[in-house]
Every structure is written in structure tokens, then in C-alpha cells.
Structure 1
Amino acid sequence: MKSQEPFTKTFSFELFPPKTGAGMEKLQHNVRELSRLDPLYFSVTFGAGGSTRERTFDSVQWLASEGLDTAPHLSCIGSTRSEIVEILDQYKAQGVRRVVALRGDLPSGAGLGGLGELNYANELVGLIREEFADHFHIEVAAYPEFHPQAPNANADLKNFMRKVEAGADGAITQYFYNPDAYYRFIDSCEGMGLAIPVVPGIMPITNYSSLMRFSDACGAEIPRWIRKRLEAYGDDIESIRAFGIEVVSGMCEQLLAQGAPGLHFYTMNQSVPTLRICANLGLSPAR
């Protein structure tokens, strides 16, 4: 892998909008802890078809009130062009300057078509550029181990290229635990002349069964040696978390040393695992 320098190394954190008042209080506490690391931004996930939209708006509004830069997720499946523009107008009015543009998950058993006016993330990126020019910094998704619905690796890379050509400024990867997959993906992007920062997505390991469920759904591979170690711990949560922090910290160190332009942590609305990993990387909270 060639270094992606001179991109400035950045750190950011992903949140999901809580469903309850208690969940919001927990989120606010953890965001305040994480914000001491001075991240570039917090991203907030977004449900297609209105399933979490209002909660996303509320979370973004609270983050803005705290003076924190925010990158709301925006998916196009199940939405019309006018609905998407309306959402972006609201974000623009809130002072948001960054979004994460995604296709979104297909409803179970559904295929493309009849689910909205836009079917692919590159179309969403194009719409944002058409309607808002350069107001928004646009992040898109990247898949070092390839999207589970892609017919093959080359098709997946071409899909990524279309998003970049439509106007994406940067990309965040699906999480992975095999750095070689990331390095090869970057080499492939450079071979196609794609010169945007591709930031590794980092998932702290805190619960084995949840990790397996998420990974099965998104196609992220858990290397056999990691799975076997996690299985050996059984219900010993503390040992699982300690091992997870050790493994993920080591991977992050390697990625940064090899030229990754930063790290994007999937926090699952928790602060402690990410804070411990960041401490291992020498990132100290501001006092």
C-alpha cells in the first residue's frame, strides 16, 4: 500500500440516534467524554423510509448546540428527490457542512426499483452536488472486503469509482479486522486514479455474539484466530473486552503507520472502549 499522505490524519466517531430519553442521556454523556479527544466530527446514522429520521434530526440538533461538528448519514432508498433536498435544506439551516451519503439498506425481500427516485449512492452524491454545489463535504462508504451484494470485486470497485466521480470528497470503510484487505483496496483505488482519503472504519470488540451478528449481516470477516480466541472466553465479558482492545489497538497502530489518513470509530454509543483504544494510540483527552 502506498501512503495516502499528505492528507491530514483525522479521527471521528459514529453514533446512532437513541430511542428513549434515557438513551439520549447516555448518548450525551458519552459524546461529552469522546469530544475531549477533539474529533473532526461525529456522524449520526439514519434510517430509510423515516424509521429514525426525526431521532437523527434531534441528535444532530443537540450536537450542534454543543458546538460539535456533525455529519448526518443520509440514505436515498425509499425517498424522493424533493424529500432529500428538504432534509438537506434543514441540515444546511442548522449549520451542517458534512454528510455521509449512502444508498441505504433494502427492505427485506425487496429489489431496486419502486423504492424511491434514487437507487444508488452515486445518484445521491450527484443530487447533492447539483442542488448544493460545494456546501457539503460528502463522505461515502467503501468496502475493503467488498459489499456483500456486489457480484464480484471488480464490480464493487467500479461502484465505488462512480461515487467518487459523482463528487465524493472522502470515504469511510466498513469495519474490518484484516488490514491487508484495506491495503489492497487502497492500491486498487490508486490504480484507478482515485485520490480521495479513505478512512478505515473501526469497530471495537465488546461482545462476541453481537459482533458475529453484525458481521454476518454486513459481510465483514472475522479472522479465524480472533474468532477462536473470542469463543474461548465464553461469557467472560471482561476478558473479551480486554482482548478486543488489545487487538483493535494494534490494528489501528499498524494502519496509521502504513499511511491511513485517520480512523472512524463505530462507537455503538459507548465511550469507554474507544477511549481506551485511543489512549493506546497516544491520543490524550484535553483536560
Structure 2
Amino acid sequence: MTATKPLWISCEFFPPRTDEAATKLKQVQARLKVLNPTYYSVTFGAGGSTQEKTYETVVDIQSNVGIPAAPHLSCIGSTRDNIRQLLKAYQEKNISRIVALRGDQPSGWAGRLGDFNYANELVEFIRAETGQYFHIEVAAYPEIHPQAKTAESDLQYFVQKVNAGADSAITQYFYNADAYFYFVEAAQKLGVTIPIIPGIMPISNYEQLTRFSDVCGADIPRWLRKRLESFSDDKASLQAFGIDVVTNLCQRLIDNGVTGLHFYSLNQSELTLRVARNLGLIPA
């Protein structure tokens, strides 16, 4: 299997919590450079937690890894003043890409929601403050945001983010390519022209995957759940099967003209690299 044209490849990380984890993440980032990534993005915790660690990680990537870095910014718990300060700090470090999200509200959250209710408001604010300096990524949900009332309203919210000034979008991960194709087609009918990059989640652990999917609303098709369950504690076989599944998904996306792939790395490199080798994105 091979990709017939260059792809926009990006990888996502979460901020390390310990010195040991930070050292490991640097090694992962160095290994993934073979993908010639367009950028690395860095998440934050629910409610904007880990924001300081996100900043430190992004600056380290930009300064020492040599790959453009993109911090995630969240509406939840954010004020105009603290977002303004962050934007200025990132500009001073020559960071020019932002992932703008509404963000997750922590369980039992009793704090103030913040000055922004929705991601389109955050995008509008970034544009008003910094003009076209930042390339702004937003989120897309081919299988519908778990809190959306209807598929139609969810699509309209996405269009609002695009119209607010987004340059491109990253989808939630999925294992049903048809959901992605349908979403892109529906968005284009409403005038969306920005790239909508599919989010790709390599499969390393069944329990972890189901936990993530239950929270974020990503569907694991029944056939896939049953096959993954059948491997029980055979981690190597589960991962080998998962690599085949994800490779085939990516190949179908590539064959149908996607311009990029965004890998949710979970601060690991091996599975992403194995999928990339299968696709012919790096030497075998």
C-alpha cells in the first residue's frame, strides 16, 4: 500500500507530568520526525488544566525538536485576558498555529465557564486580536459531538467555526470511513472549503479505547469491538490486528483524496510508525 501524493501529517501529544515522561516524550517526538510532520500539537487537561505544561511542551518542541508546534486553547475556564496573554506569549516564541476548542468540562466542575461559550467565539477573538498571524485549527465530529442535540445542529456549529476564521479542521477519531465522507460532503454543501483532516487513533489497548470512545462519542463498530475482545490478554496480536484495521482505514481515506492524517499518538511512536510504513509514508 502506498500514498500517491504527499500528505499533511501531524501528531498529537499530551503534556508529560514527570521528568521521566518528559524524557520519553522527547524520544517519541524524535522518532516521529521521520514522518516529516507538518506540526506537532499539544493538548491540555479538562477545564484548561495543565496549561502551563502545555506551554512548556510546545515551546520545547518549537525550539529543540525542530517541528512547528501547535498548542490547544480551550474556552472552558478561559478569559479574554488570559487568552490574550497566551497568544502574545506564543507569538514571542514564533509559534504560529493554534488548535481552538470549546474544551471539556471537568467532572464536578464548579468553576466559572469563562468568557467564551463556544469555539467559534474563541476563533473570532483570536482573529480580532492577531489578524491572520495564526493558522487556526478547529475540531470536527463526523459521528456527531456527544452533546449535540441533532446531527444538523452539530454541522451548523462546525460551519460557524469555519466562518469565524478557521483555516483547517481535525476530526475526532473514527473507524467508519463512510461517516467521514458523509460529513465532509455535507459540510461542503454548506460552503465549507477548508481541509478537514481525519483524526487517526492507533489501537493499542481495548479497555483504553472503549473508555476514550465512551467519553468522546467515537463509535467502535460492533464487529471491531468483538474482534478486539477476542484477543483477551494477547496484546501483540491485538496490536497487529489493530494496525491492519487502521492501515486499511487510512488507505481508503487516501484513495478517496484526503490531504492529510492527524495521529492521536498517546505519547507513543511505535504503532503510528508501523501504520505509516504500511502506507508507504516512510521506508519499510
Return the TM-score normalized by structure 2.
0.95
1:19 match: 17
Q: Does the CA-based 8 Å contact 2:48-2:74 persist in structure 1?
A: no
Q: Check whether the contact 1:48–1:76 (CA below 8 A) recurs between aligned residues.
A: no
Partner of 1:170: 168
CA offsets 1:24-45 (integer angstroms, 9 cap, x no match): 0100000000012110000000
Q: Paired residue for 1:3?
A: none
Task: Give unpaired runs (5+ residues) of structure 1.
Answer: 1-6
**Which residue, 261, 276, 282 being the options, matches 1:278?**
276
Offset, 1:259: 1.1
User: Whole-Å Cα distance in 1 between the matches of residues 43 and 259 of structure 2?
Assistant: 22
User: Which residue of 116, 132, 155 maps to 1:118?
Assistant: 116
2:145–2:154 Cα contact (<8 Å) kept: yes
List per-residue Cα deviations over 1:32-80 (Å, max 9, x = no partner). 0001211000000023545201111111111012221011111011111
> Which residue of structure 1 lines up, in the alignment, with residue 242 of structure 2?
244
Amino acid at match of 1:86: Q
- Structure 2 distance, partners of 1:241, 1:171, is 28
**Aligned partners of 2:46 and 2:211: how far apart in 1?**
21
Aligned mates of 1:283, 1:198 — CA distance in 2: 20
**1:153, distance to aligned residue in structure 2 (A):** 0.2
- Report whether the alignment pairs 1:97 with 2:96: yes
Aligned partners of 1:264 and 1:210: how far apart in 2? 19
In structure 2, distance between residues paired with 1:234 and 1:223: 18
CA distance in 2, matches of 1:49, 1:155: 24
Letter in 2 for 1:74: L
Distance 1:90 1:259 in 2: 37
What one-letter code is carried by the residue in structure 2 that aligns with 1:102? L
Equivalent of 1:159, from 129, 132, 157?
Answer: 157
Match of 2:185 in 1: 187
Q: CA 1:207–1:253 in structure 2 vs 1: closer, same or farther (change >3 Å)?
A: same
| Residue in 2 that maps onto 1:85 | 84
Question: Which residue identity lines up with residue 210 of structure 1 in the other structure?
Answer: Q
Distance 2:47 2:183 in 1: 31
Which residue type is aligned with residue 278 of structure 1? A
Change (3 A) 1:83 1:156: same
Instruction: Measure how far apart 1:236 and its partner are.
Output: 0.4
2:164 corresponds to 1:133: no
Question: Given the two structures, how large is their TM-score scaled by the length of structure 1?
Answer: 0.94
1:212 aligned partner: 210
Q: What is the CA-CA distance between 1:108 and the residue it aligns to? A: 2.4
Task: Name which of 141, 144, 163 aligns with 2:142.
Answer: 144
Percent of residue pairs bearing the same amino acid type? 56
Q: How far is 1:8 from its partner?
A: 6.8
* Gap change, CA 1:258 and 1:50, over 3 Å in 2: closer
Instruction: Look up the match of 1:196.
Output: 194
Q: Which runs of 5+ in 2 are unaligned?
A: none
2:228 to 227, 230, 245: 230
Hey, what's the Cα distance between the residues in 1 that align with 2:150 and 2:271?
Answer: 34
Shift of 1:9: 3.0
Mean alpha-carbon deviation: is it higher for 50-59 or for 191-200? 50-59
**Runs (4+) off by over 4 Å:** none
